[in-house]
Structure 1
Amino acid sequence: MVDRIPEEDLSVVVDGVSMRYRVQSSPPVPESRWGGAIREHTAKQVTVNALNSLSLVAVQGECIGIVGRNGSGKSTLMKLISGQMPPDTGAVYASSTPVLLGVNAALVPELPGDRNVVLGCLAMGLTGEQIAQRYASIVELSGLEDAIHLPMRSYSSGMSSRLRFAIAASIDPEILLIDESLSTGDAQFAARSRRRMDELRENAGCVFLVSHSLDTIVTMCTRVVWMDKGDLVMDGEPHDVVTAYKKFARELAHGNNVSADALRQDALDTLTVIRIVRRSSGRRRARRQ
């Protein structure tokens, strides 16, 4: 099956990108004749395929969830889309500059949450006037209330996560990328973050959300892609993709690798080809690999 998408509806086109890393690997530790381990100090360079050749198309108004095991290439794909690093092959096209939510580097654990709100917003390019206008909504979304005046080092991981999301979600980019920001939080925070995500999606060209929280993915996303070992395995309706991924993960957990591989192949067989229709003569072809 071939789907056709008008070029003016596009937000992001990922066209055959791949990414490899060269890392050092220590050799196996040999056993000495006394039974103890002797570590050799030599190491070798190995190539890690973070992403194999991968393509996908995102249109305006979509919220695309990305699921997969650790090491599947989800965060690498987000970095490529956001422009943090170039791919080894292929290219990424976007209708505007994608924004990857993340203010960790700007936050200072010794400072209270309210001061970190200012620092995080400044790091994202907001002016003092804009920060003042959005401060109350940031605190409300985080749900920290009086704790906003305590040092961040006193926060639980959930509190810190909520504050980071609230700060990062204070901007309104056309293309928004969120990596693991919504995995923690109570029901009230989930409802608030859902409302904010809906607002962002309405204002944005599209939203990409990476999370291990499958409930969050199903609830917030209009479409889900499943990645595994650097491949895009499945792309479709949230419930269908998450259900297939859960079955795959369950087979792996029980050591049924053959069954898991069969499920993976079945998912690969569902992928469709996309043709991008230009107003001018000619067509650009993209595909969900």
Structure 2
Amino acid sequence: MAVADSEAEPTVVADHLDIIYKVIAGQGGKGTAATAFRRILKRQDRPTIREVHAVKDVSFIAYKGDAIGVIGRNGSGKSTLLRAIAGLLPPASGVVYTGGQPSLLGVNAAMMNDLTGDRNVVLGCLAMGMSAAEIQQRYDDIVEFSGIGEFIDLPMSTYSSGMAARLKFAIASAKMHDILLVDEALATGDAEFRVRSERKIRDLRDQAGTVFLVSHSLDVVLDTCNRALWLDGGVLRLDGTAEEVVAAYTKFARG
């Protein structure tokens, strides 16, 4: 486990955290006619419910000023861990303590596809507790940072996934957060936006917030984070400096 300065203030404490959730095995969404027909043939009255043990006995402490990269293969529990820190998934056992308000990319729940980007900026900022005066003051910077340009007056339903992700990140990063949880937001957009986003994360860290960043880009983790957590099959394999953890993960991935 990484060791922090004795004067540093803890912001997130995970203590023997286990997250277990249930999924419907062999079925996506409500299913299709073919799925239902197969169930009838097999005389299955209801789909099979399967438990997924996504995070297993994970313990760590995050401190003010930390930018923590969360790395690992697909399905290793990275996004689940962020959702647990945000309070969106209850622990099956263990606990998560947060010394502040966690924000999972800030405004996902407030983004509405039928409304324009302009209206979503206002709604997103209101959802983060910003006043009307603060929104007016920061509006132009948010739009400029997102790179949306003239599309800001069009409905979100017309945006590409990259455009929507850029706008969400621009809104979320317009306010100083106690704990900002970013899940693969930097994987979208062009190189210029990634550079600006990485700079923004460093700014948030320098302002004594705490940032968690899930990313498959190890270069982004090295460029923006001072620490990293490596999850493998829901288990915390290593907690240390970004350089140490990325080196160990890279060696493991190469076999």
Aligned equivalent of 2:23: 23
Residue type matched to 1:16 in 2? H
Counterparts in 2 of 1:49 and 1:139: CA distance versus 1, 3 Å: same
Aligned equivalent of 1:88: 92
Contact 1:17 1:53 in 2 (8 A): yes
Counterparts in 2 of 1:193 and 1:39: CA distance versus 1, 3 Å: same
Per-residue CA distance 1:201-259 (angstroms, 9 max, x = gap): 122432111122222222111111110111001122323322332343344xxxxxxxx
The CA RMSD measured in Å over matched residues stands at 2.5
Matched, 1:117 2:143: no
Q: Offset at 1:129? A: 1.2
Specify the SS of the correspondent of 2:166: helix
Question: More deviation in 178-187 or 61-70?
Answer: 178-187
Residue type matched to 1:41 in 2? Q
Residue type matched to 1:66 in 2? V
Any stretches of 5+ residues in structure 2 without a counterpart?
A: 28-37
Contact 1:64 1:224 in 2 (8 A): yes
Aligned equivalent of 1:280: none
Matched, 1:41 2:9: no
Counterparts in 2 of 1:190 and 1:9: CA distance versus 1, 3 Å: same
Contact 1:174 1:203 in 2 (8 A): no
Residue of 183, 187, 196 corresponding to 1:183: 187
Residue of 230, 233, 253 corresponding to 2:234: 230
Any stretches of 5+ residues in structure 1 without a counterpart?
A: 28-35, 252-289
Residue type matched to 2:194 in 1? A
Number of matched residues? Answer: 243
Q: Offset at 1:161? A: 1.1
Matched, 1:69 2:73: yes
Counterparts in 2 of 1:243 and 1:93: CA distance versus 1, 3 Å: same
Aligned equivalent of 2:142: 138
Residue of 172, 177, 198 corresponding to 1:168: 172
* Identity %, equivalent residues: 49
Residue of 130, 143, 154 corresponding to 1:126: 130
Aligned equivalent of 1:9: 9
TM-score of the superposition, structure 1-length normalised?
0.75
TM-score of the superposition, structure 2-length normalised?
0.85
The 1-side partners of 2:44 and 2:83 are apart by 33
Residue type matched to 2:66 in 1? E
The 2-side partners of 1:24 and 1:146 are apart by 42
Counterparts in 2 of 1:169 and 1:48: CA distance versus 1, 3 Å: same
Per-residue CA distance 1:252-278 (angstroms, 9 max, x = gap): xxxxxxxxxxxxxxxxxxxxxxxxxxx
Counterparts in 2 of 1:167 and 1:81: CA distance versus 1, 3 Å: same
Residue of 194, 205, 224 corresponding to 1:220: 224
The 2-side partners of 1:244 and 1:3 are apart by 18
Counterparts in 2 of 1:3 and 1:225: CA distance versus 1, 3 Å: closer
Counterparts in 2 of 1:113 and 1:17: CA distance versus 1, 3 Å: same
Q: Offset at 1:21? A: 1.9
Residue type matched to 1:44 in 2? T
Question: More deviation in 242-251 or 136-145?
Answer: 242-251
Q: Offset at 1:65? A: 0.3
Q: Which has the larger radius of gyration?
A: 1
The 2-side partners of 1:3 and 1:158 are apart by 37
Residue type matched to 1:235 in 2? D
Aligned equivalent of 1:282: none
